[in-house]
Homo-oligomer: A and B are copies of this chain.
Amino acid sequence: MFCSRNEANMKIGILGMGQVGATIASKVLALGHEVKIGSRSANNEAAAAWAANGGARASHGSFADAAGIAELLFLCAPGEVALAVLDAAGGANLEGKTLVDVSNPLQFRKGAPPTLFVGNDDSLGERIQRAHPKLKVVKTLNTVNCSVMVDPTRVPHEHTMFLCGDDAEAKSTVSGLLHAFGWRDLIDLGDISNARATEALLPLWVRLWGVLQTGDFNLKVVR
């Protein structure tokens, strides 16, 4: 169902230098890709330290710097600033690029557990796609924590990763990356509107995290 090619030596931009961004940046660097981390400030200390340790294929800069050089981008910012980060990256820098959207529309201001600020008949994935029609948005990885994103073997036995998006070629490229991360059971739900379904898993995820007292879990679609 999925092509498993790993296009080594892609130019990959990472938008956001939080824990998610740093984890994904290190993984794709280890896989042989050229990686630029983009931050709000081009002088982000954590990003500079990461790049200094990363060798010749690792660099850092502003959101626009990262988007400018990238063929493929990971959106690793919190959901509440996702659209602002893409605005800062610059519309022209995004045209024709593949964006792996791992963000979730979680809002924490209303107490715990967090609720969603968009859902049911819309999604953050769709908002991003509507705001940047020439960006090829692929929603995936948003249903697990970042350690599991890049190392699914942290959870024993096979489990499932969903993806969705409007562009078949972009989904094929992202599927190849997911395969390189170690993912084997991928389910393509269809177009980007299916982000409504996977973002809606977060209310369950946060509760299971509370019950299980670990983030090393995931769902398997048993069939």
Q: Smallest distance from the beta carbon of A24 to chain B beta carbons, Å?
A: 22
Q: Smallest distance from the beta carbon of A139 to chain B beta carbons, Å?
A: 13
The winner among A158, A196, A203, A204 for most chain B CB atoms within 10 A is A204
Residues of B within 8 A of A120 (CB): 115-116, 119-120, 203
Chain A, residues 134-163, CB within 8 Å of chain B (1/0): the string is 000000000000000000000111110010
- Check if A207 sits within 8 Å of B197, measured CB to CB: yes
Closest to A212 in B: B223
- Check if B211 sits within 8 Å of A204, measured CB to CB: no
Chain A, residues 182-204, CB within 8 Å of chain B (1/0): the string is 00000111100010111011011
Residues of B within 8 A of A223 (CB): 155, 212, 214, 216-217
- Check if A156 sits within 8 Å of B203, measured CB to CB: no
* A208 contacts partner chain B, Cβ-Cβ < 8 Å: yes
Closest to A201 in B: B204
- Check if A208 sits within 8 Å of B187, measured CB to CB: yes
Q: Can you list 18 pairs linking A and B with CB atoms under 8 Å apart? A: A115-B120, A116-B120, A119-B119, A119-B200, A155-B222, A187-B208, A189-B208, A189-B211, A197-B203, A198-B204, A200-B203, A200-B204, A201-B201, A217-B221, A218-B221, A219-B219, A219-B221, A220-B222
**Which 10 A-B pairs give the minimum distances between C-beta atoms?**
A217-B223, A197-B204, A197-B203, A159-B222, A220-B220, A200-B200, A219-B219, A197-B207, A200-B203, A220-B222
